[in-house]
Structure 1
Amino acid sequence: MNALAPSAGADRHVVARATVTSAAAAALGGLALDHAQAMGVAVCVAVVDAAGTPLFLRRMDGVAAPIVEFALDKAFTAATMAKSTRDFGVRMTGDAALGVALAGRRRMITWQGGLPIVAGGEIVGGIGVSGATGEEDEACAAAALAALGLGGVPPASGG
């Protein structure tokens, strides 16, 4: 038996998970900022990996400091809950027990502007935009995802 070969069944103890690259995160962030500038709005953009760890964060001039946290929260929520923050808000509104359970959780937010990054049918990260209206924030995120072909319908999730 080869000592370097994995034992039979060893792979059942490991989960491989795709995640957005730092280069793609920077590209998405830049595209969202470009879209905001074209719309004439100032925003903050955050991009996180599949685990919700920040890879890109940029605040446009004139955007209030607290907006940075909102952008991070939107990106985190979209990545970890596998749905847009808008859809997550609808889900929370329809389930009082879920709303109570998640009310004190850090980084969970239901404001529009966070979208999951989807590649090959798998959630690989999240993008959050904050600083304009919810519709404008989401439009910036959606434009960035569309430009790189990283949008789409996330897989069904129980949450």
Structure 2
Amino acid sequence: MTSQTITTTQLNLNAAYELLAQARRACAERGFAATIAITDAGGHLRVFERADNAPFLTVSVAIDKAWTAASFGMSTSQWNQYMAEPTVAPLAQHPRLTPVGGGAPIIIDGQIAGGIGISGGSSVQDHEAAEEALRAMNLIG
């Protein structure tokens, strides 16, 4: 019997904090205070920040956006589009699935390494800030 090992790619802690800083900058450039969550490939929270004046609802939303993006390796904006399909729509009942723009997968060497979730602006602003932060660090697929 042979054993098989599956390895996952991980964003190290220093890089996660740098991604957080890039996201904070992208949100500030768009003029909104944000909550930013970064998860590992399993959707577990790795780095987190809530701006002083970001509403408290943004906490769980940002975390769940990152979790949603990491789960299938696609942005929460894409999930929003899929929810219109009758065969996918029942997933909207899942308590953590967040099909609102602002979550994006973190991709390293073509593999899902986690997700970033931003909440505090409009869904378009959140999405643009997340993608800009990922592009700045070459972590986008």
Using the TM superposition, give the Cα deviation of residue 97 of structure 1 relative to its aligned residue in structure 2, in angstroms.
3.3
Distance 2:116 2:98 in 1: 13
Q: Which amino acid aligns with 2:30?
A: M
The structure showing larger relative contact order (alpha-carbon pairs under 8 Å, at least 6 residues apart) is 2
Among 80, 86, 97, which residue is 2:87 paired with? 97
Distance 1:53 1:30 in 2: 19
Q: Which amino acid aligns with 1:68?
A: V
**Kept in 2: contact 1:19–1:50 (CA 8 A):** yes
1:9 aligns with 2:2: yes
Following TM superposition, the consecutive aligned residue runs of length 4 or more in structure 1 with deviations greater than 4 angstroms are none
1:140 aligns with 2:129: yes
Percentage of pairs with the same residue: 32
**Kept in 1: contact 2:103–2:116 (CA 8 A):** yes
- Rg larger in structure: 1
Distance 1:47 1:103 in 2: 22
Distance 1:138 1:81 in 2: 17
Deviates more, 1:108-117 or 1:36-45: 36-45
Distance 1:90 1:135 in 2: 14
Using the TM superposition, give the Cα deviation of residue 127 of structure 1 relative to its aligned residue in structure 2, in angstroms.
0.3
Number of positions where the alignment pairs a residue of Structure 1 with one of Structure 2 = 141
Among 17, 20, 29, which residue is 2:11 paired with? 20
- After TM superposition, list the pairs within 5 Å mapping 1:57-136 onto structure 2: 57-94=48-85, 96-100=86-90, 102-136=91-125
What are the ranges of 5 or more consecutive residues in structure 1 without an aligned counterpart? Answer: 1-7, 153-159
Deviations 1:35-60 (A, max 9, x none): 11122111110000000000111111
What are the ranges of 5 or more consecutive residues in structure 2 without an aligned counterpart? Answer: none
Q: Which amino acid aligns with 2:93?
A: G
TM-score (norm 1): 0.83
What is the RMSD of the two structures over their aligned residues, measured on CA atoms? 1.3
